Chain A
């Protein structure tokens, strides 16, 4: 059980700056995120796209913004728990008990949800029967590539994950690469490599095809793929890999007893607290009259929620507002000389 003053759910820009604000006022915090890296949508959806409306930064990309926020957190040594999703939130006296899908447990008086549009999950095949084989012979990520050795693997998708795995696995497996159109969106060098391997007969390429059905009993036997012109092909296959990118889903947050409005959480504008005492929501996921889904709004919301956390984390102390330019205690926390 990890004890902390505030647990932040979401390591996007809002979650990162909220962590900064908590540490600045002397509170501890830990951060959980379902992605395998820090940065949220900024790093997953638009690392290269320039952003023009961060105050005092005329132009920066999603990746630059993330790197700068991480740099700003450097004095604080904050613990990030990546690759896991918060599944359960339960009240226990004055604390919230939190469990992740990987079995991590936290105890905190405050939870700050900075979850954007929810957690990133792989886009799955739209065909119901695929579920039967999920994590047995159908995967949306590769954890142990040795299982594919000497087998036939059908890979779906047109991005870098699909191309990279097709190239890598073609060394020891028979590969079908299936994509819904002619063009691949992966880096040009990978596309070239795949086309070259296809010419050599190392990869069987099927473009303008999509999954139609899966066949088999306990074990997967074959798949049917369908061309845009309705021509159907049957492919014997041992394994299926699907790489259709990530989608964002609110997920378990919907079960925590919070007032929701579509995919957002209702909060007040003083503390950015939800209808549950000690649970706050900041950034794109929160909703209040006049809410703007801007990064700068997330920063403001996080700063206020952090102050609200103080009261529950240090019930016997009084919060004192201080400036970073003049406060001795803040400078000490930042590790800067006066």
Chain B
């Protein structure tokens, strides 16, 4: 279990307990957090669960998977700290993770 904080583009923040083993994307979708679309359902086949990971966390979470950057090329306003939230697995180690949601996904 980990507490994950999702911060909407407007600044509105949601802190949720997400079960270990789920992805950061699933944590958002299951709790109806606006701003994450996840059109492909977690298949790393789109870029609509794009998040910005706070700097202090970026190197602590599991690194990008092969092909993730290819999808991020197709995201809305990708940055250095961009990730696909479907590819970040939740575990006790990331308790307290904060992610910022982009202005939009598509």
Q: What is the interface of chain A, defined by CB distance below 8 A to chain B?
A: 41, 45-46, 49, 117, 123, 126, 157-159, 179-181, 183, 185, 228, 244-249, 263, 293
The distance in angstroms between the C-alpha atoms of A190 and B40, with both chains bound, is 28
What are the 5 closest A-B residue pairs judged by CB atoms, nearest first?
Answer: A245-B74, A185-B70, A45-B45, A117-B39, A247-B106
- Some 14 contacts from A to B, beta carbons below 8 A apart, are A41-B40, A41-B45, A45-B40, A45-B43, A45-B45, A49-B43, A117-B39, A123-B74, A123-B106, A159-B70, A185-B70, A228-B80, A247-B46, A247-B48
Residues in B with CB closer than 8 Å to A293 are 41
Q: How far is the CB of B35 from chain A (nearest CB, A)?
A: 13
Residues in B with CB closer than 8 Å to A158 are 70, 73
B9 at interface (Cβ–Cβ under 8 A)?
no
Q: What is the interface of chain B, defined by CB distance below 8 A to chain A?
A: 37, 39-41, 43, 45-48, 69-70, 73-74, 76-78, 80, 106
Q: How far is the CB of A10 from chain B (nearest CB, A)?
A: 15
Q: By DSSP majority rule, is chain A's interface helix, strand, loop, or mixed? A: loop
User: Which one of A185, A246, A249, A263 contacts B73 once the chains associate, using CB atoms below 8 Å?
Assistant: A185
The distance in angstroms between the C-alpha atoms of A179 and B74, with both chains bound, is 11
Residues in A with CB closer than 8 Å to B40 are 41, 45, 117
The distance in angstroms between the C-alpha atoms of A93 and B80, with both chains bound, is 56
Quick one: closest B residue to A127, CB to CB? Answer: B77
Is the CB–CB distance between A244 and B74 below 8 Å? yes
Quick one: closest A residue to B73, CB to CB? Answer: A158
Q: Which of B47, B69, B74 has the most CB of A within 10 A?
A: B74
Residues in A with CB closer than 8 Å to B43 are 45-46, 49
Q: How far is the CB of A252 from chain B (nearest CB, A)?
A: 15
Quick one: closest B residue to A228, CB to CB? Answer: B80
Quick one: closest B residue to A293, CB to CB? Answer: B41
User: Which one of A46, A185, A249 contacts B45 once the chains associate, using CB atoms below 8 Å?
Assistant: A46
The distance in angstroms between the C-alpha atoms of A149 and B1, with both chains bound, is 59
Quick one: closest B residue to A185, CB to CB? Answer: B70
Residues in B with CB closer than 8 Å to A45 are 40, 43, 45-46
The distance in angstroms between the C-alpha atoms of A263 and B48, with both chains bound, is 13
Is the CB–CB distance between A157 and B73 below 8 Å? yes
Residues in B with CB closer than 8 Å to A263 are 37, 39
Residues in B with CB closer than 8 Å to A181 are 69, 73
Quick one: closest A residue to B76, CB to CB? Answer: A126
The distance in angstroms between the C-alpha atoms of A1 and B74, with both chains bound, is 38
Q: Which of B69, B70, B73, B106 has the most CB of A within 10 A?
A: B73
User: Which one of A41, A117, A247 contacts B74 once the chains associate, using CB atoms below 8 Å?
Assistant: A247
The distance in angstroms between the C-alpha atoms of A185 and B80, with both chains bound, is 17
The distance in angstroms between the C-alpha atoms of A331 and B101, with both chains bound, is 55
Known interface pairs A126-B76, A126-B77, A228-B80. Does A248 touch B39 (Cβ–Cβ under 8 Å)? yes
Residues in A with CB closer than 8 Å to B80 are 228
Is the CB–CB distance between A159 and B106 below 8 Å? no
Given A185-B73, A247-B47, A247-B48, 6 more contacts at CB 8 Å?
A: A158-B73, A180-B73, A247-B46, A247-B74, A247-B106, A249-B106
